[in-house]
Amino acid sequence: MNTDERAVWGDADVSSGKDAGDENFPVGSLLISRRLRPHVHAYYDFARVIDDIVDTDRLDAEAKIARLNAMEDVVLGRRAAPARRDAQTAVRVGRTLAQTGVSTPTATDLIVAFRQDAVKNRYDSWEELAEYCRYSANPVGRFLLELHGEDPRTFGPSDALCTALQVLNHLQDCADDLRNLDRCYLPRPWLEREGVAVDDLRRPATVPGLRRVFDALLDRVDMLNREAASLPGLIRDRRMRMEAAVIVGLSRRLAARLRRQDPLAERVKLSRKDVLGALAGAVRTLV
């Protein structure tokens, strides 16, 4: 790399090394056809790397945005990528988009969200949070649906599901996000209304006002999950229909767990029983 390129890419990648097994929900699972799985994994690897770029403490905000911009340029074919893992994920996802005809914004919209994460660490309304999810989460569902050639009618309930999953993840990680990244996605006016503050997320257990904020967000998630319930019935591909049904079931189960458990006191996560229950429920979508 020349000096200018090194200034953008740095001397080493910042990818975390996490893989699909670190996620709550299936990523390119066996429910997706073997023919399409490599494209799903290429997309996932790209999303993981750009997420790692914005979450690393080894880059300042300006450097993060410069590297995200470079990743976008590689996806769009506007620049070459160095021969290293993080940059090559952009090459592979660009190749996937070209081979499959899936729309470019399903990848580049993720970069919009992560640029925002580099400079914004507080949210002042549900609408702001939903707009963030529009770019950080909804493109993932649209990528899968476009990859399977599904009708655009599926996009609305898919967006609802993906936004629900993103908010659930914010609730799971609310203490870690604040401690490690000084980032809080809970709307500040909601906290103020209940007489609590962002710093209450640093406590070892949830205080009553904060619990009410969590439950108010879960009320929104429940509404989104109800909208998402129609998604499997709109999907033509049998495997993708089952995948969607499983994820709808897991989203509902995780929301219920977050109602009962305290994300400050413990890591709230799905159990094997939850997964088996969601699978059993999904089977009914094939009958």
What is the mean predicted confidence (pLDDT) over 261-272? 94
Is pLDDT of 16 > 90? no
DSSP structure string for 45-66: HHHHHHHHHHH-SSS-HHHHHH
What is the mean predicted confidence (pLDDT) over 192-218? 98
pLDDT on residue 276: 84
202 Cα distance to chain centroid: 23
Residue 265 CA to residue 253 CA, distance in Å, equals: 19
What is the mean predicted confidence (pLDDT) over 154-171? 98
Burial-class residue 174 by CB neighbours within 10 Å (0-12, 13-18, 19+). Answer: buried
What is the mean predicted confidence (pLDDT) over 43-58? 95
233-244 pLDDT tens trace = 999 999 999 999
74-97 pLDDT tens trace = 999 999 999 899 999 999 999 999
Side chain identity, residue 66: A
DSSP structure string for 157-201: HHHHHHHHHHHHHHHHTHHHHHHHH----SBHHHHHHTT--GGGG
Structure tokens at 4: 């200018």
pLDDT on residue 11: 67
What is the mean predicted confidence (pLDDT) over 189-208? 98
- pTM, entire model: 0.93
Residue 18 CA to residue 131 CA, distance in Å, equals: 26
Residue 158 CA to residue 83 CA, distance in Å, equals: 35
Q: Which domains does the chain carry?
A: 1-119 (no CATH), 120-287 (1.10.600.10)
Is pLDDT of 286 > 90? no
Is pLDDT of 193 > 60? yes
109-160 pLDDT tens trace = 999 999 999 999 999 999 999 999 999 999 999 999 999 999 999 999 999 9
Is pLDDT of 71 > 50? yes
Average pLDDT, the chain: 92
26-35, 172-181, 273-282: least confident range: 26-35
Is pLDDT of 67 > 50? yes
Residue 34 to residues 30, 40, 141, 151, 239, Cα–Cα distance (Å): 8, 10, 18, 21, 11
Confidence of residue 9 (pLDDT cuts 50, 70, 90): confident
| Percentage of the residues of the chain whose pLDDT score is greater than 90 | 81
Is pLDDT of 17 > 70? no
Is pLDDT of 21 > 60? no
Q: Give the CA radius of gyration of the chain.
A: 19
pLDDT on residue 189: 98
